């Protein structure tokens, strides 16, 4: 069972002030990435996919990858 929580206004920033909020350049959705378990051979290359529209961006530069 999946539970979605929607927060209005600035409550999202207050509730998760310690986490970095990602904003998709394409669809404008805001989301937070949380690492649950990082393995010894971890290497994510700094690439991020928006979980809503799939836009691929480089975390270091913020540029859209084609």
Number of structural domains found in the chain: 1
| 47: in domain | yes
For the entire predicted model, the pTM comes to 0.58
Per the CB < 8 A criterion, the answer to whether 59 and 46 are in contact is yes
Residues 6+ apart with CB under 8 A from 41: none
| 6: in domain | no
The pLDDT of residue 24 is 93
Q: Which domain holds residue 40?
A: 11-58
| 33: in domain | yes
Pairwise CA distance, residues 59 & 61, whole Å: 6
Residue 5 predicted with pLDDT over 60: no
| 3: in domain | no
- Between 52 and 40, the more confident residue is 52
Please count the other Cβ atoms lying within 10 Å of the Cβ belonging to residue 57: 19
Residue 10 predicted with pLDDT over 70: no
| 66: in domain | no
């Amino acid at each position: 069972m999946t539970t979605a929580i929607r927060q209005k206004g600035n409550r999202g920033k207050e509730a998760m002030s310690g986490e970095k909020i990602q904003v998709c350049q394409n669809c404008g959705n805001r989301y937070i990435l949380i690492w649950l378990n990082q393995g010894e051979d971890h290497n994510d290359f700094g690439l991020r996919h928006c979980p809503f529209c799939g836009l691929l961006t480089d975390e270091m530069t913020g540029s859209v990858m084609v």
